[in-house]
Structure 1
């Protein structure tokens, strides 16, 4: 599986967003889990804990935060398992988030939030070099050789940034921001067509051809059913671990130890992803035909 999204032009170069499916082995999956946690740890440690301990400390830019990474790695050696550029990207995102918060005069932008390990969609972003080592293999920094979908779309491209993601469905993806120096050129056909976008029909062409709206009601109904099951099961579990006024817990187990609501969570995400993938595939086929 791969998706290509044209983003913008800079002179003669074109920036594309390319999404590939990753198939890491068990060792690489454990390492990815550690790298996701390292990014989360740096985000929480650099600013949130720092300002909670002393709010009078001056605001630090991304370059000064990057300078603090070296002593932080000595104190916490597990940070060395991550791509160093990914930790720098965390500082960049964090600095921009605080700037947006300080410069906002409307009060609509809140301060950067604490990143919890319970968040379903995990990812990290890096700026290191990714090499193509075969038709279905890439060499990713710190991970080594990872099996992926077809790498032919990466020919004659320069990767600017990459993001490794773990979807709630349990699938791994690699999102790339690539620069193409020589974009593909298309010859003019001399043909014209008018397109009317509607509600009953997705698109009606001037030549009389109609594209009906995509119907994914089956998977959407399934997703709604499992969404209700997930919400109900999670609510019941929260009631069990809820503390009373005397700080006594009705059930001594932790929230993560209950697997029933986690199964519903994965089923819900699976059906939501199927509906979204079918809709995306339908739109790709339509635009390709046009």
Structure 2
């Protein structure tokens, strides 16, 4: 079956490319906000639709012509989706975007081979030069879109969405019952089945970096210097952010490994409907829900099945449901 599959990579743009990304972030944010204000005005007048569009905004604001038109069109699409979710009571009322947000993004589409890889470099629309990419895995399938994201305009990433053919995994005839575990994410009969997960060293580095950040913040305060202008504080802040990101990426990689192993080795996976979560542990309630989303789309891709039960202990004691690890 064909599925939409995402790949995320770190990219290393040069100065001109960084300036283009920052400019595009601003144009997309400006377009989104202008469309939102126009939609709000229309709703106040009893209308749902408005005649304001990215094409019309380009006539009033010529600087928008310098950026990717598909990125502006996707801003309009995102606003339409936001209002649809709001009226369906799936989300709150759309808010104006701000440049103070530490994460900035824009999405562009692949039209007539405008997004492609050349070795470890990426070609994007409107950019004449190639972008260096940490291509740690092969991108398969047809590229549909690319989303550029930046953390404080310092760390840049690209998320590639592909239409890819996925082959169902072989049937094993096995089943397993798993539950939430605050230490290892999942509780299964044999703990040696899980891949290694150790964040002690990374956590130690993060704690040390946080202490140093507090010291530099105090030093800046004593010198009566704003934190935004304190160079030592800002440098340390970037180090802390990188450690946080490394910790989160390590956790995501562990979730991917665990979910794939379970889907690969078992045809039926029993899960508790309402597990009891614990705070201040390796894996939180949010982590568990992220893991469930990964598990759910993988069982769909690879022809396996998830069964939610009240208690996995009841499943483990059934003779008709042998659990082999």
Does 2:143 match 1:159?
Answer: yes
Matching residue within 126, 139, 143 for 2:108: 126
For residue 102 of structure 2, give the secondary structure of its aligned residue in structure 1. Answer: coil
The secondary structure found in structure 2 opposite 1:116 is: coil
Residue 126 (structure 2) aligned to one of 142, 149, 153: 142
Contact kept, 8 Å, 2:149 with 2:157, in 1: the verdict is yes
Q: Report whether the alignment pairs 1:175 with 2:147.
A: no
SS at match of 2:33: helix
CA deviation after TM superposition for structure 1 residue 228, in Å: 7.4
Assess, with a 3 A threshold, how the Cα gap between structure 1 residues 72 and 139 changes in structure 2: closer, same or farther: same
* In 2: Cα distance, 1:153 partner to 1:125 partner: 21
- C-alpha RMSD over aligned residues: 4.0
- Give distance in 2, aligned partners of 1:122 and 1:91: 16
Q: Secondary structure at the match of 1:175?
A: strand
Partner of 2:23: 34
Matched, 1:220 2:182: no
In 2, are the aligned partners of 1:132 and 1:151 still within 8 Å (CA)? no
Assess if the C-alpha contact under 8 Å between 2:227 and 2:233 holds in 1: no
User: TM (normalized to structure 1)?
Assistant: 0.69
C-alpha contact (below 8 Å) 1:86/1:126 kept by paired residues = yes
Q: TM-score, normalising length from structure 2?
A: 0.63
Alignment match, 1:6: none
Match of 2:96 among 110, 114, 122: 114
Tell me the distance in 2 between the aligned counterparts of 1:201 and 1:274.
18
**C-alpha distance after superposition, 1:195-239 (max 9, x if no partner):** 64434555565567353873324433554565677689889999x
Structure 1 residues 201 and 153: alpha-carbon distance in aligned structure 2, compared to 1, 3 A threshold:
closer
Deviations 1:84-107 (A, max 9, x none): 111111112212323444554xxx
Check 1:39–1:284 CA distance in 2 against 1; reply closer, same or farther (3 A cut): same
8 Å CA contact retained: 1:201, 1:210:
no
- The superposition leaves residues 5-61 of structure 1 with CA deviations (integer Å, 9 ceiling, x where unpaired) of xxxxxxx32221121222222111110010011111111122237747x87445454
Q: Unaligned regions of 5+ residues in structure 2, if any?
A: 263-325
Q: Distance in 2 between matches of 1:31 and 1:200?
A: 43
Would the aligned equivalents of 1:193 and 1:206 in 2 still touch at CA under 8 Å? Answer: no
Counterpart Cα distance in 2 of 1:116 and 1:203: 38
- 2:247 aligned with 1:280: no
Give unmatched runs, 5+ long, in structure 1.
1-11, 241-250
Of 145-154 and 39-48, more deviation after overlay is shown by 145-154
Contact map agreement 1:23 1:148 (CA 8 A) in 2: yes
1:176 offset after TM fit, Å?
2.0
